[in-house]
Amino acid sequence: MNFEDIEQVAVLGAGNMGHGIAEVAALAGYDVTMRDIKEEFVDDGYENIEWSLGKLAESGQISDEEADAALDRVEPLVDFEPAVAEADVVIEAVPERMDIKKDVYGELEEYAPDEAIVATNTSSLSITELSEVTERPEQFCGMHFFNPPVRMALVEVIRGEHTADETLDAIEELAEAFDKTPVRVRKDSPGFIVNRVLVPQMNEACWLVHDDVATVAEVDSTTSFDMGLPMGAFELGDQVGHDVTLHVLEYLHEVLGDAYEPCPLLEEKVDAEELGKKTGKGFYDYEDGGVEIPADEGRDDVEARLLAVMANEVGKLVENDVAPVSDIDEAMMLGAGFPEGPGKRADAYGPDDLVETLESVHEETGAARYEVSEGLRAAAEEGGFYGDDDEGETVEYDQIVVETDGAVGHVELDRPARMNTITVQMIDEIDAALDQFDADEEIRAVLLEGAGDRAFSAGFDAASAAPGSGLEASEMSRKGQRVFGRLEEVGMPVVAAIDGYCLGGGMELATAADMRIASESGQFGQPEHNLGLLPGWGGTQRLKHVVGEGRAKEIIFTAKNDYDPETMADYGFVNEVVSPDEYDDRKWELARDLAGGPPIAQKLTKRAMLAGRDDTDAGLEYEASAFGQLFTTDDVWEGLAAFQQDREPEFEGE
């Protein structure tokens, strides 16, 4: 089965994952049958799809007509035969138990077309073992979506021992058609990528508390504030459900051995039916205040231990050729919301130090989970998972200029002869510059601009890269999306200073900044439609959040390249328009003013806004938690004291 031949998708299971996958497929234009064992299950799933599509239309992400059309493409069924009889791809999303899945495949073989591909949404079970129940193991693979499928970008595409390359290629292309980012798991390894890294870290958090090394508050303060993860480790466990985490751990323990022994504290929570948010209580009590994480109780030794455990799992995955470190990092950022991948984070921390941490704890406890993997040892010997490319301050930049001016990190796109057009190399260099600023505690704001006075950036330099295939072009798009997205995620304000042309990919880069200042000579536009293209570095998504969907469609569909700064200020894109004489002074004044602000509050504000971009309730929950956390910081008391004393505050980020 080739991707081009896929027209109908069958989803087996109408629960949270099943109806979510069915909705994603229908939104992508596929005819979908959604089957479950009882009419009430199917009806509930269908009603959830209808509700979700309504929410997407209500928020302006799709039109009412698109919502209706997607719902019309979904056919809910209980009878097995009509559900799969004409399917080109069958995605199984039944409960995460080997026996249940195997029973389903027996019935599937009776009715599904011989050429149909079968993909399982399992999060950890063996693809090979499941495939061997079928008569088509070469047409069987893993297609692991993340919850909720409508919002989460990652799909792990997993090879079983018998899976044909053609099957993996077709499913990867299908995932892209679903507007998802596929990451290939090269070997059938328990937990695949995200669960294999994340679940041992959550288990280690439990061991730290169980062994009286740290408290829940100290662990979550460390993970949420010091490590910058989207949630505290215990907060995440409460969200996932401790029964789910324990189930994955038990499977890892059974298949891989004592390194994955579940912590008794986790087992106690499950036995007490304190499963987390879904039962009203886990490590936090959701009927009595919910999550409260102090911002100032993080500990260096806790961070070292948690990072060492994650890096050790990365080492095992790389060592066993399950995935390269770059794919692991991408999967963790997309599937777990990490601000950067554990491989890059381990390199920044120092693999030698992480090896030493594991060896020390292993000597103290004798526990198998602290045995250092050969992959991590090799990374330490080679100067990091990514090699010894960035020792100290020896990062080499060719197409950008990176400087620091006090608390401001300055990035200048440095191709003035080509109007600072963006290349793939420049994107990589911007990524490296953000790494540099992240590692420098003195940097508290970023100023981004173009060299010369002709252009901030006139867009993508098409002559610098001619993708040989649609897949290569998609990879280039994803790289730009990820790196530009870091400007939104980095825990400090980012100012784009715009003089001259700001077009195409250059405007997409500016859109990712927090604020934009323009000289009167600025000129804006997204002219991609004139080339038969679309903004491919996040522009179709970010621009509508800045100027509203109506204005975003106007800018993209008209493909004009002569919007003036005053118009863009009226649209809400430009925050400030200044004369050429004032431009240089004002851009630095703004950046330095922002750098003098409260860094913890600024970081949490950006995260709250991102969390609520597509889910207001999630944003409000983060906001309330962050508001309480800020009252534990020195910065708040400094701000209050400065206000009372009528002076400028001196925030220290503490």
Domain span at residue 639?
597-645
Where do the DSSP E strands lie in 93-213? 117-120, 140-145, 154-158, 181-185
Which one of 168, 185, 202 terminates a domain? 185
| CATH code (residue 16) | 3.40.50.720
Is 225 part of a structural domain of the chain?
yes
pLDDT at 636 over 70: no
Is 588 part of a structural domain of the chain?
no
Are 506 and 567 contained in the same domain?
Answer: yes
Are 212 and 339 contained in the same domain?
Answer: yes
Verify cis geometry, omega within 30 degrees of 0, for the bond prior to 76: no
Is 587 part of a structural domain of the chain?
no
Which one of 356, 382, 408 terminates a domain? 382
Is 589 part of a structural domain of the chain?
no
| CATH code (residue 376) | 1.10.1040.50
- The per-residue pLDDT for 592 is 94
Average pLDDT of the residues of the chain: 90
Are 476 and 373 contained in the same domain?
Answer: no
Are 301 and 409 contained in the same domain?
Answer: no
Nearest-angstrom CA–CA distance, 594 and 573 = 18
**Residue 623 identity:** E
Which one of 151, 185, 219 terminates a domain? 185
Is 478 part of a structural domain of the chain?
yes
The runs of H, that is alpha helices, within 512-615 are 539-547, 549-558, 565-570, 580-595, 599-611
Given 19, 144, 162, 410, the catalytic residue: 144
Q: Which two tokens stand for residue 120?
A: 């399982």
Are 495 and 439 contained in the same domain?
Answer: yes
14-23, 142-151, 465-474: least confident range:
465-474
Is 391 part of a structural domain of the chain?
no
pLDDT, one tens digit per residue, over 372-401 is: 999 999 999 999 998 754 443 445 788 999
pLDDT at 172 over 60: yes
Is 392 part of a structural domain of the chain?
no
Nearest-angstrom CA–CA distance, 14 and 12 = 7
Structural domains counted in the chain: 4
Are 492 and 621 contained in the same domain?
Answer: no
Max alpha carbon distance in the chain (Å)?
A: 80
Are 336 and 408 contained in the same domain?
Answer: no
Q: What is the 3-state secondary structure (H, E, C) of 490-515?
A: CCCCEEEEECCEEECHHHHHHHCCCE
- The per-residue pLDDT for 173 is 94
Could you write out the DSSP letters of every residue in 617-640? Answer: HHHHHHHHHHHHHHTTSHHHHHHH
What's the whole-number mean pLDDT along residues 14-22?
Answer: 95
Q: Say whether 410 is catalytic.
A: no
- The per-residue pLDDT for 519 is 95
Is 145 part of a structural domain of the chain?
yes
Are 415 and 361 contained in the same domain?
Answer: no
